[in-house]
Structure 1
């Protein structure tokens, strides 16, 4: 459940919620890091749940030695009241046997908080694309029925809706078409739950491979900004995303010279 760090819980009514799926390359989580760091969002609460692998660490967005001592957990909520924006950052994988409980908790919180819309940032294995998905942009989107009015706006941005693929190779009739998001973690199931519960959700995902996924995260954050206008881009060039201090150790601390 959500626990506020203040005595009174924040009001999220009418806000936009952004959250990541723990998926291939951790692209959604890295994109959320960029949003929280760049917008300097305020931490307002966290989730107390046994559905995620326990984790605690130093402040991943520290800008000085003083605030680096603040502890962070596996699921924290940040916001910007002026932008009416809330972000749920998830930092550890789901426990497999408790995936359904986690989805139920998230959907219940979204509905009870009164969010205007929710955006799930995710990714999918590039090597499992079908022929139609190989060419063009690696970005795909999905909209629940409650948010279908955004279709025109997303099409004007040049985005492509996630294609359904045939459950049986060579059979192209509509009855055999199904949504497939390999490597997407909880993405498909959470999207399906939101469709059933009438939640206004958009899924944004990129096809990618494991490795250095920082460029993928920046690309996904740029696409999100094109739609939601969280930051005003400069006249020329890309959005100046602020790299979090925790990314200094994204690939470890390097090889100790004493081993040579």
Structure 2
């Protein structure tokens, strides 16, 4: 993976917190990163070129009057006022190459001096074993702070550790060994059609990212929410809010209009295309 800085720009050492998405159901992680980039007024500082990420290109996602800036598959942003670096991923990883991609991303984070990595992702609502809506939409987490994935700071915020995380389960162990560069020649994992229920979570992109960041000695926290495919903007707000609380971001440093905290990214206006022609009703 190569990191290319924009001309005349440098990485800010004070932006030691890194937020990035893990691609999953509903694209909630990506939407939440979009929301954070837009609302913190983060500026583009460069892009990452990785051989395992499919190419794509688009127009500027955040400004109504684009200046010819292009949106690329892996783009890096910085918000000095919030001490944040954000990486937006706009296209998927080549099938079978997720761990290699996660390793490359972990190497970039370590080399650029990041101290805390926050991974945002959705989970399939159909996999949720016990539904408790008494306190609204629940945030789940997974942290490298303790071996069992727990973190006191997350617990104090009222979040629940992902109960299905078991570092001794075969797929989690396999990921950990791969991330640490250990030999796994004697381990055979089930093919996709033979995955059991306990294999679902470690098969997701957030698990590979978590394992590789942890193996590089970085503090990593995954923030997760269950959702379904559809209009996931409300889930994105919820996940972005959780990331703000975890990193103790000051809402006064956000750039919302009319006293609002959040700025809706310009690209969201065309997520579902133009409105229907009312004359057809």
Instruction: Give TM class, smaller chain.
Output: 0.7 to 0.9
Q: Relative to 1, partners in 2 of residues 1:35 and 1:128: Cα closer, same or farther, differing over 3 Å? A: same
Q: Relative to 1, partners in 2 of residues 1:199 and 1:178: Cα closer, same or farther, differing over 3 Å? A: farther
- Counting only pairs closer than 5 Å after superposition, residues 66-215 of structure 1 correspond to structure 2 as 67-131=66-130, 134-136=131-133, 137-145=137-145, 151-164=151-164, 180-181=200-201, 185-215=204-234
CA distance in 2, matches of 1:12, 1:23: 30
Alignment: residue pair count = 243
CA drift at 1:84: 1.8
CA drift at 1:205: 0.6
Q: Relative to 1, partners in 2 of residues 1:93 and 1:259: Cα closer, same or farther, differing over 3 Å? A: farther
The question of whether the paired residues in 1 share the 8 Å contact of 2:15 and 2:85 is answered with no
CA drift at 1:53: 1.5
- Name structure 1 gaps, 5 residues minimum: 168-176
- Counting only pairs closer than 5 Å after superposition, residues 211-250 of structure 1 correspond to structure 2 as 211-232=230-251, 240-250=261-271
CA distance in 2, matches of 1:242, 1:92: 23
Q: Relative to 1, partners in 2 of residues 1:84 and 1:240: Cα closer, same or farther, differing over 3 Å? A: closer
CA drift at 1:180: 4.6
State the TM-score, normalizing by the size of structure 1. Answer: 0.82
CA drift at 1:47: 0.8
Q: Relative to 1, partners in 2 of residues 1:180 and 1:163: Cα closer, same or farther, differing over 3 Å? A: farther
Q: Relative to 1, partners in 2 of residues 1:198 and 1:247: Cα closer, same or farther, differing over 3 Å? A: same
Residue in 2 that maps onto 1:49: 50
Q: Relative to 1, partners in 2 of residues 1:185 and 1:232: Cα closer, same or farther, differing over 3 Å? A: same
CA drift at 1:165: 6.7
CA distance in 2, matches of 1:25, 1:90: 14
Residue in 2 that maps onto 1:170: none
CA drift at 1:155: 1.4
CA distance in 1, matches of 2:147, 2:32: 22
Give deviations 1:39-91, integer Å, cap 9, x for gaps: 1101001011221111111100014x2x3421111110000223221000001
CA distance in 2, matches of 1:205, 1:242: 22
CA distance in 2, matches of 1:32, 1:254: 25
CA drift at 1:251: 1.1
Residue in 2 that maps onto 1:29: 30
CA distance in 2, matches of 1:130, 1:156: 23
Q: Aligned Cα RMSD in Å?
A: 3.1
The question of whether the paired residues in 2 share the 8 Å contact of 1:144 and 1:200 is answered with yes
Larger mean Cα displacement after TM superposition, 136-145 or 17-26: 136-145
Residue in 1 that maps onto 2:186: none
CA distance in 1, matches of 2:152, 2:81: 27
